[in-house]
Structures are given as structure tokens and as C-alpha cells.
A and B are shown apart, each in its own frame.
Chain A
């Protein structure tokens, strides 16, 4: 007696998937979908809250930069975010087809000036909250990889 449809098996992934991908449009409201994905990916893999927060804040800074500054036209562009487990780390890769921008080349902000400038702190958060950042530009695509070690 059948008890229901067979569970589809994914070729090459006999266990629960350890990577997720999302494609969003270049609109700030789309960032909520990325944060939802990070929350569910983190819950599924039992990440501590500090890791989920580090990923969410870092991705928010990077995606906000891309959506606000990367495009020279007003058209729709896709941005891809991939999350993956790599050994004892979680990796987030962001790909966009905006203008070339290497966030690693940006000088750290001045955090001491009073009154505080209301900008420039975003990449500081990314540097402080991640363990490794790599940037590459290939075939018109910016590819930024963030690595966060799991405690």
C-alpha cells in the first residue's frame, strides 16, 4: 500500500542540501528575501545567532552598495547570492553585473570624528563580521566571497 509520493532524490546530493541560491532584483526591498534565506539556512544548519547576524549584516551592506551605486542605468539587474557550508565555515558569494568595484580596496572609515558622518561604516561592518573576503572580476561580473568560521 502506497503511503504517498516518493521523495524525489536529487542527483549528487543524497543528504540534505548544504547550499542555497537566490536571485534578486536590484531593489532594496529584495534584501528581505536574502535575509529570510540566511535565517532559514542558518536554522537548518543550527548556526549560532551571532553567525546569522554577521551574515545578514554583511550581506545587507554589500547588497545595499550594489543596488545603490553599481548600476549606470535604471534598468533591472539580477544579483545572485549563494550560501554554502565549507568544512567548518559558511560561505556567501554575491555576484552582480554592475560596474567593477572591489570593496577590499576601500580605506577604513574614520570612526572617531564627532559628529559622526552618517555613512562609510558599512564595509567596516563587513570586515569586522567576516573572517575572509575575496573579490574577483571576470567577464563583466563582480564576485565577492565572504567566509565566516563557525565556532
Chain B
């Protein structure tokens, strides 16, 4: 798991690379939570380069999503494609998140 972060004005983009599973979910979730606690109110998480997400990874995403909402912020996901998309569907997680096709669309949604 590797996280690459970029800030464009008011939006923070986090690109995740590798496996989002029980070995990496804590590091991933802790980083998103600390961004929210540090004042980030608009977060785009790009999952395009994630090989797969297990339930531990979905749990971390749900918790980060709730933490953002509780801080009056917004979180958008993008790059939900291929096997990752299939896992969202199997777990019935698609409706739980704001999902956008691309980073640019995610940023646009969060600025509305």
C-alpha cells in the first residue's frame, strides 16, 4: 500500500496504490482520519491503482466517509473500476459513497 497525496486549493486528493486489505486498512484509515482531523473538508480518494479491497478496507472507507460527514466535509471516490467495482457491487457498498468516474469530476462534485 502506498498513498500519494496532492492538494489543489480546497481539495485533497489521495491516490492509493496496492492492496486495501486487513494488512493495510489501518494505515489507510488512519491517514484519511488524520487528514479530516487536520481540517481537510474535501477529500477525493482515487482507487484506480488498487488491486482489490477486502472487508477491512471497506470498513476503513466507511469510517473515513462518516468522519468526513461528521466534520461537515465531503468525500468522493474515483477510479472504482474493474475488480474493485465488482467488489463494491458484491458488498453492496456502491450506494454508501459518492463515486465519480475521474479525479476531476470528483473535485468538481465536491466544489458544488
Contacts and interface: CB of A to CB of B under 8 A. Distances in A.
A31 B22 contact: yes
Interface string B50-62: 0111111011001
Interface of A: 28-32, 35, 49-50, 53, 56-57, 60-61, 63-64, 67, 111-112, 115-116, 118-119, 121-122, 124-125, 128-129
Interface string B73-112: 0000000001100110011110010000000000000000
Contacts of B82: 49
A128 B22 contact: no
Interface of B: 19, 21-24, 26, 51-56, 58-59, 62-63, 66, 82-83, 86-87, 90-93, 96
Contact of B52 (A31, A57, A115, A128): A57
A39 B60 CA distance: 24
A125 B54 contact: yes
